[in-house]
């Protein structure tokens, strides 16, 4: 009988241990996730895991007031970046990296078209973009539009952005995802780099893309 009791105790202990392991594997969120954070996470995951169709045509107004459509850049690799000119850090750093990459590519860099689409069309007017983009690269095209137009493009590229009020005054910032998008020479989505990617890394990937395209021999 003593042996049977030992077996029962051992089984109860094993069950308890098993339950403990199960409990440890049950995912519980450490914080209450609000609707907005969930929307942001889902959009970011759409890009990270290629979970949704990304990209598509667009037509916006450039920093010289001309209407520009994605189709006019056929035959070039498009480096597409979304941000806003008031951005204090990430946007300017990535735009510098993109510009350095184009220069590092040498003559091949002429087959790369950098585009900067503002997510803040209310402040980033044609005039504001005209003051901003030449600081980075002479061929960088700044693009703006109505709030609706910009919203549609952002949605197609699964980009998250939201106004965040500054602590003081009427000023606001934008919380935004900051991927560096690559589109192939047909304007199709090729992939993204995370913000803060080194120019050397951008250069080697774009170099490879340029040399695997059907027009590489040209």
Q: Which residues bind Ni ion (CB under 5 A)?
A: 83, 87, 90-91
Residue whose CB is less far from Ni ion, 47 or 87: 87
Instruction: Find, among 92, 88, 85, the residue nearest to 131 by Cα.
Output: 85
Q: How far is the CB of 133 from Ni ion (least distance, A)?
A: 14
Residue whose CB is less far from Ni ion, 113 or 177: 177
Q: How far apart are CA 32 and CA 12, in angstroms?
A: 35
Residue whose CB is less far from Ni ion, 58 or 160: 160
Q: Which residue is nearest to Ni ion (CB)?
A: 87
Q: How far is the CB of 210 from Ni ion (least distance, A)?
A: 27
Q: How far is the CB of 160 from Ni ion (least distance, A)?
A: 12
Give the length of the chain: 218
Q: How far is the CB of 106 from Ni ion (least distance, A)?
A: 29
Residue whose CB is less far from Ni ion, 44 or 90: 90
Q: How many C-beta atoms lie closer than 10 Å to residue 115's C-beta?
A: 24
Vertex 113: Cα angle to 138 and 187 (nearest 5): 160
Read off φ and ψ for residue 17, nearest 5 degrees. -65, -45
Q: How far is the CB of 161 from Ni ion (least distance, A)?
A: 9
Angle between helices 199-212 and 90-104 (to 10 degrees): 50
| 70 close to 187: Cβ distance less than 8 angstroms | yes
Q: How far is the CB of 182 from Ni ion (least distance, A)?
A: 19
Instruction: Find, among 61, 218, 86, 64, the residue nearest to 145 by Cα.
Output: 61
Residue whose CB is less far from Ni ion, 81 or 189: 81
Tell me the residue ranges of DSSP E strands in 63-129: 67-69, 77-83, 112-118
Residue whose CB is less far from Ni ion, 70 or 87: 87
| 185 close to 210: Cβ distance less than 8 angstroms | no
């Amino acid at each position: 009988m003593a042996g049977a009791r030992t077996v029962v105790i051992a089984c109860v202990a094993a069950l308890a241990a098993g339950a403990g392991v199960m409990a440890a594997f049950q995912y519980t969120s450490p914080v209450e996730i609000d609707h907005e954070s969930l929307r942001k996470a889902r959009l970011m995951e759409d890009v990270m895991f290629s979970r949704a169709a990304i990209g598509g045509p667009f037509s916006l107004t450039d920093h010289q007031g001309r209407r520009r459509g994605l189709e006019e850049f056929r035959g070039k690799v498009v480096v597409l970046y979304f941000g806003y000119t008031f951005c204090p850090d990430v946007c300017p750093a990535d735009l510098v990296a993109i510009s350095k990459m184009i220069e590092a590519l040498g003559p091949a860099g002429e087959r790369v078209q950098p585009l900067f689409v503002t997510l803040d069309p209310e402040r980033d007017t044609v005039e504001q973009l005209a003051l901003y983009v030449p600081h980075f690269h002479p061929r960088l095209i700044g693009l703006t539009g109505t709030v609706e137009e910009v919203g549609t493009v952002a949605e197609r590229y699964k980009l998250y952005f939201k106004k965040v009020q500054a602590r003081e005054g009427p000023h606001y910032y934008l919380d935004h995802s900051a991927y560096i998008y690559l589109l192939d020479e047909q304007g199709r989505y090729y992939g993204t780099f995370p913000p803060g990617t080194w120019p050397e890394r951008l250069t080697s990937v774009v170099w490879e893309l340029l040399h695997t395209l059907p027009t590489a021999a040209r």
